Amino acid sequence: MASRSQGRSPRRIPAGSGPYGVGCGDIMAGLSTSGVFFRLFYPMEKTSGGPPKKARPPWLLGSQYAKGYGAVAGKKLAGVTLKWLLSKVTLPVWWHGKLSESKTKYPVIIFSHGLGGCRTTYTSICMDIASHGCIVAAVEHRDQSACASFIINNNNSNGTANELDQQWITYHKAAYEEQELRTRQVNQRKDECIAVLDYLQDLDEGGHLENDLDPDMDLTVFQGHLDLNDVALCGHSFGGATTIACLSRDDRFKCGVAFDAWMFPLDESHLDVKQPLFFINTEKFQWKANITRMLSLVPDIHASSGPRRMVTVRGTVHQSQSDFSLIVPQFLAKLTSARGPLDPYVAMATNNFAAIRFLSNYLDLQFGDETDGPVSSSDDLIMIGTNVCLLDVEEKEQRKENGERRGSLIRRSLRLKRRKSRSPKENEERESERKEKTEEQRGD
């Protein structure tokens, strides 16, 4: 395993930790924002050495996405810099690879990205889950919370879309706590995730479904192989909020994992969740008001097992749960706070292990014989609950005052004990010395 401290890590997306290789492809259905757009990760038979270079898709999806990441960062030149730095990063997956036939049906997970992300931003998580025998649909949201996205206006005569056909949806930079906007966005995101599940259900049942973005992708191979009774949700930040919103609205989702969830966009109706839910937080992102809202969904934050849990991964920051922590150069990662003290590969492996173990309690994933729990009990990287202090200011002051009182009583008790341990003559001498000092001070 990699060192736990920061070092000169290679800039790459690691292969999945499960027994399967991973294939992928992009699916777009519908020529408007009411359609669906997602990247599908799915299990393949594992090969030695992984996919060849020519079969590996790029991580960065093009200039518009690089420009969008720059807009998210608020830096004019950031998009150009990112394109230069990340254009050669490829993914250890087979583009249009063959679905494994080792199982009749595979469980399904819908993944929702955070603010400024897109369908490739969380490849490390999605691919790792898929490698354990799961089909993962990474949604690209069109609510202007993605770094960039697009719809297709028209198709060419050969049925494929080119750049001239693409109508771009740009990232809308706004105050984080702009209630009307965030409410609208989280509701659209919820609808998009549910629409993807509807699409996958139609696909599994043999519906004649088009892929407007990539007609060369053979969708018929998935028919009859999706277990729509075994469905879960995962999401990061705004995607964590989207996960909770979907759970509250659609009971087809059996459970959810919220990575560093941002709770602000959710109203009270979204908090009516019956399914199992796991919060995996980073050490440096969370704050009291956000954690307090999570507590309405996690009755016992000290629970190390069961359907409702919360853990914090030590030494991590918000981007430790995205691919950025792995692929940006170390100097840029420090400049943009994309990495915490913990080695980014160890952080990602710990994060994914906790999520997959939880999901394996409710979905048919190939994960081994480990007992129920977020991670190994001996792993000191996981904190059960939160590192955020949840005490009110008044309660803190009261505890401080009580501590000072206890300290005063302890000191008085120690003086009395020392006095009792001395002889009467010693006590008389000390009392005489004390009086003399008092008289001298008065004289001065």
17 is catalytic: no
Residue-wise pLDDT tens for the chain (444 aa)?
344 555 555 678 999 999 999 999 999 998 778 899 999 999 999 988 889 999 999 999 999 999 999 999 887 667 888 888 899 999 999 999 999 999 999 999 999 999 999 999 999 999 999 999 999 999 999 999 999 999 988 655 555 556 658 899 999 999 998 999 999 999 999 999 999 999 999 999 988 788 999 989 999 999 999 999 999 999 999 999 999 999 999 999 999 999 999 999 999 989 999 999 999 999 999 999 999 999 999 989 998 889 999 999 999 999 999 999 999 888 777 777 889 999 999 999 999 999 999 999 999 997 765 544 445 444 789 999 999 998 774 565 556 566 666 767 777 777 777 766 767 777 677 777 777 766 666 665
Mark whether 264 and 401 lie in a shared domain. Answer: no
Task: Find out whether 344 and 411 touch, Cβ atoms under 8 Å.
Answer: no
How many structural domains is the chain composed of?
Answer: 2
CA dihedral 123, 322, 260, 79 (to 10 degrees): -120
124 and 258 inside one domain: yes
Instruction: Tell whether 407 and 274 lie within a shared domain.
Output: no
List the CATH number of the domain containing 159.
3.40.50.1820
Query: Which candidate in 212, 260, 323, 343 is catalytic?
Result: 260
Residues 30 and 95 in one domain: yes
Q: Is 2 among the domain residues?
A: no
Are 313 and 280 within one domain? yes
Which residue, among 226, 228, 233, 147, has the nearest Cα to 190 in the 3D structure?
A: 233
Does 130 reside within a domain? yes
> One of 9, 113, 318, 323 is an active-site residue; which one?
318
Q: How many helices (H) and strands (E) does the chain have?
A: 11, 12
Catalytic one of 124, 145, 149, 237: 237
Question: Is 349 contained in some domain?
Answer: yes
Same domain, 333 and 407: no
Which of 352, 370, 388 is at the close of a domain? 388
Look at residue 3 and tell me if it is in a domain: no
Quick one: 419 and 272 in the same domain? no
Decide if 131 is inside a domain.
yes
376 is catalytic: no
Is 15 domain-assigned? Answer: no
Is there a catalytic annotation at residue 113? no
Stated pTM of the model: 0.85
Domain with 408, as residue range(s), is 394-441
Residue with tokens 């016992």: 300
Q: Is residue 5 included in any domain, yes or no?
A: no
Domain boundary among 369, 388, 407: 388
Bridge partner list, 83: none
Q: Are residues 408 and 302 in the same domain?
A: no
Are the C-beta atoms of residues 191 and 210 closer than 8 Å to each other? no
